[in-house]
Chains A and B, each alone.
Chain A
Amino acid sequence: MNGNLAPDLAAELEEAKRRLAEAEATLDAIRMGNVDALVVSGNGGEEEIRAILNMGSLANSIFNQVAQPVFILDARGCVQRQNQAALDLAGEADGRPFLEALPLRREDAAESDVLGDWLERGHHIEALDVGLDHPRLGTRFYLMDANPIDAGWDGARGGIVTLLDITGRKLAEIQLAVRGSQLRQQFTLLKTITDNIPEGLLLLDEEKRVIFHNPAALVILDHAEADLAGKELADFFRPRSAPEAPGTLDLEGSEAEAGARRGVLPRRDGSWLPVQFGFHALKGDKAEAGDTILVLSDISALVSSEKALMQSIEKQQHSQKMEAIGRLAGGVAHDFNNLLLAILGFTDLSLVHVAEGSRVHDNLKEVKRAGQRAAALTAQLLAYSRKQILDPQVLDLNDAVKDVLKMLGHIIGETIRLEVEIDPDRLSARFDQAKLQQVLVNMTLNARDAMPGGGRLVLRTGSTAVSAGDRSGMVREMRRESEDGVPAGEFTYVEIEDTGHGMGPEILDHLFEPFFTTKEFGRGSGLGLSTAYGIVKQMGGYVQVFSVPDRGSRFRVILPKARGGGPGTTESQSDALPSPRGSGKRILLAEDESMVRKLLAQVLIDQGYEVIEASNGEEALSLLPGPTEAPLSLVITDIVMDRMGGIELAAHLARLRPSLDILFISGYAEDQHKLPMDGPERPFFAAKPFHPAEFLHQVGSILEKKLLAAKS
């Protein structure tokens, strides 16, 4: 049996081995993907063809059709398979180390460490952000997933790497980030603007409730609460057209009006703030219909500067008006001076020839007095136009004050009592009487205006001595003083004291500034005290002001005491004409006003001078004596003449007759300043109207000086 059995068993064993080998080969072929169909036993034991039809090629085509690059790596990290997308990205990488094959951007080189780490340890990588240089598409961004493929034993470990192209998403993210940051920037910018602009902004809804407001709005509205959001505008915004205007401005329809409106808003301290406001309909995608923005501006500075500008313009107009009047007055005075010169001159000439005490003599004296009053009037006109030249003489201050008292009485009116305290001693000082009187007039006007309800005005003269370091003589009880620094010395003074409303420091500080006035607009020029101050300073004097609000003011004009030369020096000069001493000296007289020329010629001829008369500069030049004739001793010329004035004539003479003296005469005081000042001495000048005796005296002294100079 064994002998039979053994061969059977052996054959069966062989058969079994063969079958096993076949099965193994079949499994191998299946595992390797070399077959695409299997034969299986169906439910009824029948054979069926099954299943893996086309499986390998399907996977392969799927693998290749996947748009994402996919790499299959072996256990060493080398590329074993790659799909079409991976081929496009990395080129043929079969067998190359994956890290070498992957076209990492230089910036992402650090990622290769992570990948290397992964390859070593077989960890998962999820969504690693990498930038790769695609040979055809340029820089692309990918999310990399890497997973180990575990074949069951370590030696077969490999990996699959898939790359998801997220370039589009990445770009969108970047754009989004940029837009986000732009929006943030815009918001920051807007907030910075709204937080810092001086205008108040209030965003209002359709019901006029506050949605939003900026900090400036709170300041302008002077609202106690820090947040107005949700409040109704009408509860706290009630502008009026003016503080004194009752009710509030009608805001209805303001939105339609494009222009901003002005009004005032009440403040918690009871004052009113001038504001400008405007409603603007809100436009834009996010705006709700009916939303408006209220823009509020504090225009207090604008309003006050507008006011100041208006005042300045009106002051300027006033000043220009004064200037025009002054010019007119000056012109009239000039013509008057020529007439008065003739009237007074011829009167004087006639008086010489008429017996004193006769009827004609008395009449002529009356003519002369009238002429002198007219001359004083002219002087006042010139003072008003501020074109009078300073003519300081040593006089008694008491006389000057007494002289102006009557005029001051007229100025102050009936409600003010005028008291005069004249120093019994003579107060000799050097001053210009007309100017000083103008100063007193201006100060009296000021005192009068300080006492609208009447009061007392004291005019006081006196003398005082100021020692070094001492300001004695000042009244101690006065709280505020505005004074010049008076140096040590002896002084006379005249002061005007009133019982008016007085002045506080803020007024005293500006008292003498031109155009400073506390008077109602249009009432004062603001020039009175500044002119007075200027005149006093010009005369070498000082002004002190003592004042207490509601108690009164005292203005003191201080003038240095004059040494020598008793008062009334001019007055003591005789009106009588001096005795003849012309002794045939030749004088050329150029004067366009024939009446004046005739008078002056007459006066000079009467004194024994020989006079050549010319009616203008050109004629004067033509009448110059030749070399064989008797030479000229003096040229007397008017400054303003039609055909060549005195100054041009003098220029010609300086060339033709350099040694010849010239005496300029003019009715315009300021003409004196036009005279050529380039010579060694001041030019000789006589202002019209002058007294014939004065005139002759001046002519005589010029000729004498010349004589003395010639002798030495």
Chain B
Amino acid sequence: METEITSQSPDQESGEELFELKLYVAGQTPKSRAALENLHKICEEHLRGRYRLEVVDLARNPALARTDRILAIPTLVRSLPTPISRIIGDLSDEDRVLMGLNVRKLR
């Protein structure tokens, strides 16, 4: 369980870009849990069918932090669409998360 990958099959018909997301957490800290919950909610609401999410537990393998130069936990990294962007925190502020991911609000 070094790396847990949660993905949704991309919706080919939509023709829109695929979001490749990586959430760095440290075990079950409150903010890690909150970030995961919040991210699930946002993705299901705004990116349904066009994202791929990988959750990286640094508590199990701290060395993985090096890949994306992770300094604080939780951190969400969007590797696609480029450029790479990151959002640090528990992702509770939905507006800020959508802005950071550059996702247009549906409503």
Q: A-side interface residues toward B, CB under 8 Å?
A: 19, 22-23, 25-26, 28-30, 32, 34-39, 46-49, 53-54, 57
Contacts and interface: CB of A to CB of B under 8 A. Distances in A.
Contacts of A37: 26, 29, 31-32, 58, 72-74
Interface stretch (B1-9, B11-19, B46-54, B85-93): B85-93
B43 interface: no
Given A26-B72, A29-B88, A36 B59 contact: no
Given A35-B74, A39-B58, A49-B59, A54 B30 contact: yes
Binding site secondary structure of chain A: mixed
Contacts of B31: 34-37
B105 interface: no
B90 to A, nearest CB: 6
A37 to B, nearest CB: 4
A39 B72 contact: yes
Contacts of A57: 30
B106 interface: no
Contacts of A26: 71-72, 88
Contacts of B63: 46-47
A32 B88 CA distance: 11
Interface residues of B, number: 22
B18 to A, nearest CB: 23
B66 interface: yes
Contacts of B71: 22-23, 26, 38-39
A48 B65 CA distance: 9
Contacts of B65: 39, 47
A36 B29 contact: yes
B70 to A, nearest CB: 5
B69 interface: yes
Nearest to B100: A25
24 contacts: A22-B86, A23-B71, A25-B86, A25-B88, A26-B71, A26-B72, A28-B88, A30-B72, A32-B89, A34-B88, A34-B90, A35-B31, A36-B29, A36-B30, A36-B32, A37-B73, A38-B71, A39-B62, A39-B73, A47-B62, A47-B65, A48-B62, A54-B29, A57-B30
Contacts of B90: 34
Interface of B: 26, 29-32, 58-59, 62-63, 65-66, 69-75, 86, 88-90
Which 4 pairs of residues, A with B, have the shortest CB-CB distance?
Answer: A34-B89, A29-B88, A37-B73, A47-B62
Contacts of B58: 37, 39, 47, 49
Q: Main secondary structure on chain B at its contact with chain A? A: mixed
A49 B58 CA distance: 7
Nearest to A34: B89
B26 to A, nearest CB: 4
B29 A39 contact: no
A38 B69 CA distance: 12
Q: In this complex, which of B58, B71, B75, B86 has the most chain A Cβ atoms within 10 angstroms of its Cβ?
A: B71
B70 A39 contact: yes
A47 B86 CA distance: 20
Contacts of A34: 31, 88-90
A48 B26 CA distance: 11
A263 B72 CA distance: 103
Most B-side CB within 10 Å, residue of A30, A34, A47: A34
A32 B93 CA distance: 13
A647 B85 CA distance: 151
A30 B88 CA distance: 9
A36 B72 CA distance: 8
A29 B30 contact: no
A49 B66 CA distance: 12
A48 to B, nearest CB: 6
A517 to B, nearest CB: 117
A57 B63 CA distance: 27
Contacts of A25: 86, 88
Contacts of B30: 36, 54, 57
Contacts of B59: 49
A35 B72 contact: yes
Contacts of A47: 58, 62-63, 65-66
Given A26-B71, A39-B70, A49 B88 contact: no
A46 B89 contact: no
A37 B75 CA distance: 10
Given A26-B88, A34-B88, A54-B29, 12 more contacts: A25-B86, A35-B72, A35-B75, A35-B88, A36-B26, A36-B30, A36-B73, A37-B32, A39-B62, A39-B73, A47-B58, A47-B63
Given A26-B72, A54-B30, A35 B89 contact: yes
Nearest to A30: B72
B35 to A, nearest CB: 9
Nearest to A47: B62
Nearest to A48: B62
Contacts of A48: 62
Contacts of B32: 36-37
A203 B45 CA distance: 96
Contacts of B69: 19, 22
Nearest to A29: B88
A24 to B, nearest CB: 10
Contact of A49 (B26, B86, B89): B26
Contacts of A30: 72
Contacts of B66: 47
A35 B23 CA distance: 13
B99 to A, nearest CB: 13
A30 B72 CA distance: 8
A146 B70 CA distance: 40
A49 B30 CA distance: 15
A33 to B, nearest CB: 9
B7 to A, nearest CB: 25
A26 B86 CA distance: 10
A29 B72 contact: yes
B77 to A, nearest CB: 10
